[in-house]
Structure 1
Amino acid sequence: MHTRKRRRALIAGVVTVATAALGIGLSTQFASAQTTLRGAADEAGIDIGIAVDANQLQNNATYRNLVATEFNSLTAENAMKWDATEPSDNSWNFSGADAIVDFAEDNDQTVHGHTFVWHSQTPQWVQNLSASAMQAAMVDHINTLANRYEGRVDSWDVVNEVVSDNNGAMRDSFWRNTLGDGYITTAFQTARAADPNADLYINDYSIEGDNAKSDRIYTIAQGLNSQNLIDGVGFQSHLILGQVPSTMEANLQRFIDLGLKVRITELDIRIQTPADANELQQQANDYERVVSICAELADCSGVTVWGLRDADSWVPGVFPGYGAPLLFDDNFGKKPAYNAVLEALGGDGSEEPTTTDPGTTTPPPTGDGDCTAEIDVVNDWGSGWQGNVLITADNGAVNGWTLTWTWPSGQSITSSWNATVTSSGSSVTASDVGWNANIAAGQTMNAWGFVGSGSSAAPQVTCTAD
């Protein structure tokens, strides 16, 4: 088992919200240990983490300030995934990941890396490889990321969601169908060799309670642990209101009994919207229960909440009719769940939450703004090229977008990430995938990207706000 001393800011000192890479600098007085999540977690000796969006971190000062002052650990929501870091073979983009790691270091925060190997958000070029080429690509990808961030990223989700929802059966992903179950061991062996000091996790959802899926994860973890390849298990905890499993504490304990750490890695608790005051209080109770379980277990390394405010959550785009899953409302106001988490960490949650109308925690308000978009050619290697698509909300907030354009000279998209793309001849249509639908008025989002064939081009793009 790997251990490390947590890096922590002085509780009563000043947190400097700055990153040299972004050219951002501001200072904010860090409140006492009893009145911020970060202060209470520091005193408790565990992580209180947040999944961060690199675009928001760069463009939204309120977002930056809360990330720095309320949380002592960061996870990249998307910026470290394969589609973001290696969209085409050996063509790397570390801009988002670097910005998050730099920010964490400047603000004395730990980083939990997410994720090396996943069946989703992996470019098509990887999925089409032969077995030998796919294994080589996986090993190279892990080595490149782990080596780049060695000593800077404290822990990694090595494999993500390898078990299906079918009674504990292994997921029939392209990884397993091409490489067999051995790809999991190979991934952990590679990560262990690449960064021996990083804690290595297996991560999955719907394993919080004692069930067939968590049994399968237990068996996998047991085998990896016998080879000294794993340090912990990540329990995503994308929960539904009122459905915290009654067996959650005992289930986490059995993994600890193997000699492993446990971690709540992607916590959110979704509500059917619109949410009323009683439901927000039930959500607070559920959050308190989950965080208390971690705080009371000696080897629970921390809790990460999957997003800062309700408006940024992936939930409404994936679970229609549900939303309001996080600790802050759309306007960055503290919800009852915030105070419940603070109290679960041993802090003072007596302050009244700042949410004034439960309606502000419902799905994002209908956007009334226009949008513009442009294709930014970020890499061109002759036989192909990479484009990032930048979308700007002009006069008002955008809560969904659709783009159309026509290629001028026979170009085509061979793979893409973070958008739903359809093509018909030279015409292209692309739309958001939920989590990247919302753009604040006046803000520009690096929304999605693609690999193109033919000569690079940046045709005029029409953006329609939903």
Structure 2
Amino acid sequence: MNTPARRSRVRSAALAASAALLLGLAVAPAAQAGTDGAKRTKTLHELARETGRYFGSAVDNPELADTEFADLLGKEFGQTTPGNGMKWYATEPQRGVFDYTAGDEIVNYAKAEHLKVRGHTLLWHNQLPSWLTSGTWTKDELRSILKNHITNVVKHYRGKVFAWDVANEIMNEDGTYRQNIFYKTIGPSYIADALRWARAADPHVKLYLNDYNVEAIGPKSGAYYTLIKQLKADGVPIDGFGMQAHLALQYGFPDRLQQNIQRFADLGVDVAITELDIRMILPSDTAKLAEQADWYGKVTDACLAVRRCVGITVWGYTDRHSWIPSVFQGEGAALPWDENLQHKPAYDAIHDALAAAAQED
């Protein structure tokens, strides 16, 4: 599927589109032509659906007020992930007091726009409420708190989300367990507990582990491979592995991405690209935009080459609403649409990869 000729065509198109973009010659999205000269009349979602997958974008609640942004999100994509509205600080701001306002807003928007929703996330070491992080808990107390949180949140969204990032970012770069509040108090068994409690609360939702810097084959992804293999051997419910894919041009493309996706699929779980963006050191230029486009095409191709890679979600689709500049000083331009909601070469590369796969299917 990912032939040299195809990659060459995508890269050539990206170079041409980059030059046009920088010269101010980019045409309106609906009129942009594919590498074969055909008009791009199908959305990324429509093309992905033809391959049996989804293509989505995250959204945060304040962004819904940008009606131009929200309208395009609903038209171009088939799935969305709440950026913050379902995290612990938002859903249980006081112990035992649940607030689903932010999450429900995105679920209601998604329902109106016919988007499916990935739940994100049931437990994470960041964005926890102060009542939880400042408390002194015994193992049994924290297990009870965790069970109550997961049970309430998953039951509330039962039938409204198709998957949950149950445990997010639980490994260090060297493949050891992250020393978060749950690990330090409960031990590694909290992961299996969380998965079992989520399954009990919603027998039909897909349950994922999710992390960054796991796209390449290395110690961190290897730790997840070992963990998922053990969880399955122990009969713990685990349905998928989420590769966030927050990539950066200056660090190189992840080594053996397709092979890594395949080895997790061979364990009998689905794989999803869950938070894709590809940042660069600013300012952008023709060469960087072309390389970025090539990478977006490669990530898409890698997913398409593995049947159990079920979908791709970009972490926001436009540079207008991106977390990158506020976190990585001097970096940005990470997404397939620019700040004016115009296609960048990255969009062309994704579209061409999906279109080629859809034709083959």
TM-score, normalising length: structure 2? 0.85
Classify the secondary structure of the residue corresponding to 2:70.
helix
The answer to whether the aligner puts 1:235 opposite 2:236 as a matched pair is no
Work out whether 1:148 is the aligned partner of 2:156: yes
**Matched residue, 2:68:** 62
- Does the CA-based 8 Å contact 1:33-1:42 persist in structure 2? no
Q: CA deviation at 1:252?
A: 0.9
2:292 aligns with one of 261, 278, 283: 283
Letter in 2 for 1:308: Y
Note the C-alpha offset of 1:347: 6.6
Which amino acid is 1:291 matched to? T
The RMSD of aligned alpha carbons is 1.8
Residue identity in the other structure for 2:237: L
SS of residue in 2 equivalent to 1:100: helix
Q: Report the secondary structure of 2:247's partner residue.
A: strand
* Kept after mapping to 2: 8 A contact 1:244/1:290: no
- Cα 1:285–1:154, aligned 2, differ >3 Å: closer, same or farther? same
Match of 2:168 among 160, 163, 166: 160
* Alpha-carbon separation, structure 2, partners of 1:71 and 1:203: 21
Q: Which residue of 2 aligns with 1:418?
A: none
Q: 1:139 aligns with which of 130, 134, 147?
A: 147
Asked if residue 253 in structure 1 is aligned to residue 262 in structure 2, the reply is yes
Task: Specify the alignment match of 2:223 in structure 1.
Answer: 216
AA at the equivalent of 2:175: G
Give the drift of 1:89: 0.9
Tell me the distance in 2 between the aligned counterparts of 1:124 and 1:85: 13
Q: Aligned AA for 1:232?
A: G
Letter in 2 for 1:90: G
CA shift digits 1:215-240 (9 cap, x unpaired):
10111111222214100100010001
1:28-107 maps to which residues of 2 (within 5 A)? 34-57=41-64, 59-107=65-113
- Tell me the amino acid that sits aligned with residue 318 of structure 2: R
Alignment of 1:264 onto 2:273: yes
Amino acid at match of 2:243: F
How far off is 1:246 after superposition?
2.9
Contact 1:104 1:111 in 2 (8 A): yes
SS state at 1:136 partner: helix
1:274 aligns with 2:283: yes
Contact 1:158 1:187 in 2 (8 A): yes
After the TM superposition, which of the residue ranges 244-253 and 128-137 deviates more from structure 2? 128-137
Question: Between Structure 1 and Structure 2, how many residues are aligned?
Answer: 317
In structure 2, C-alpha distance between the alignment counterparts of 1:292 and 1:325, rounded to whole Å: 19
Q: Which residue of 2 aligns with 1:125?
A: 131
Alpha carbons 2:195, 2:236 under 8 Å: kept: no
How far, CA to CA, are the matches of 1:54 and 1:321 in structure 2? 25
Give the secondary-structure state (helix, strand or coil) at the position aligned to 1:239.
Answer: strand
| Structure 1 residues without counterparts, runs of 5 or longer | 1-28, 349-466
| Residue 41 of structure 1, CA deviation | 1.3
Measure how far apart 1:132 and its partner are.
2.1
What secondary structure sits across from 2:58 in the alignment?
strand
Residue 5 (structure 2) aligns with: none
1:175 aligns with 2:179: no
% identical aligned pairs: 40
Tell me, in whole angstroms, the C-alpha distance in 2 between the residues paired with 1:129 and 1:302: 40
Asked if the contact 1:51/1:76 (under 8 Å) is kept, the reply is: yes
Q: Which runs of 4+ in 1 moved over 4 A?
A: none
Where is the helix percentage greater, Structure 1 or Structure 2?
Answer: 2
Q: CA contact under 8 A between 1:34 and 1:40: conserved in structure 2?
A: no
- Displacement of 1:33 in angstroms is 8.2
Secondary structure of the residue aligned to 2:287 is: helix
Counterpart of 2:355 in 1: which secondary structure? coil
Q: TM-score, normalised by structure 1?
A: 0.66
Q: Distance in 2 between matches of 1:278 and 1:145?
A: 45
Q: Secondary structure at the match of 1:346?
A: helix
Q: Please tell me whether the aligned partners of residues 232 and 263 of structure 1 are also in contact (alpha carbons under 8 angstroms).
A: yes
Deviations 1:120-169 (A, max 9, x none): 0111211224122221111111111111111110000000000012x211
- 5 Å-filtered alignment, 1:181-220, equals 181-220=188-227
Q: Give, in angstroms, the shift of residue 211 of structure 1.
A: 0.2
2 CA distance for matches of 1:83 and 1:344?
38
Where does residue 7 of structure 2 map in the other structure?
Answer: none
Paired AA for residue 153 in structure 2: L
CA apart distance, 1:266:
0.5
Unmatched 5+ residue regions in structure 2?
1-29, 31-38
Bigger-Rg structure (1/2): 1
Task: Measure the CA separation in 1 of the matches of 2:93 and 2:153.
Answer: 14
User: Matched residue of 1:304: which SS?
Assistant: strand
Work out whether 1:109 is the aligned partner of 2:118. no
